[in-house]
């Protein structure tokens, strides 16, 4: 994985607020490999060690977006 240093990064609290879920849910997604995240070390309290790029967040949302069933 190459890292785009110009990318916008979100922490788990920001992602949780954007998606209206808890930070525990975001951390669970990270640990399950459902959303890509960069471990920046430091305190694991409240997910402060994880960063998620805007691109990876968009990919995560796109993978879970459903199309209406028009049958």
Tokens encoding 5: 């240093």
Total number of domains in the chain: 1
**Secondary structure of the chain: what % helix, strand, coil (to 5)?**
45, 15, 40
Q: In angstroms, what is the C-alpha Rg of the chain?
A: 13
Assess if residue 24 is contained within a domain: yes
14: containing domain: 9-64
pTM for this predicted structure = 0.79
Three-state DSSP class for 70? Answer: coil
What is the pLDDT at residue 32?
97
What is the pLDDT at residue 62?
94
What is the pLDDT at residue 27?
94
Tell me: the pLDDT tens digits for 15-71? Answer: 999 999 999 999 999 999 999 999 998 765 555 699 999 999 999 999 998 887 776
Distance in angstroms (rounded) separating the CA atoms of residues 71 and 68: 9
Assess if residue 70 is contained within a domain: no
What is the pLDDT at residue 47?
54
């Amino acid at each position: 994985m190459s890292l785009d240093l110009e990318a916008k990064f979100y922490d788990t609290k920001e992602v949780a607020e954007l998606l209206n879920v808890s930070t525990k849910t975001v951390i669970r997604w990270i640990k399950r490999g459902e959303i890509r995240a960069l471990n920046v070390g430091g305190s694991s309290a409240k997910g402060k060690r994880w960063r998620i790029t805007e691109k990876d967040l968009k990919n995560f949302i796109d993978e879970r977006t459903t199309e209406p069933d028009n049958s």
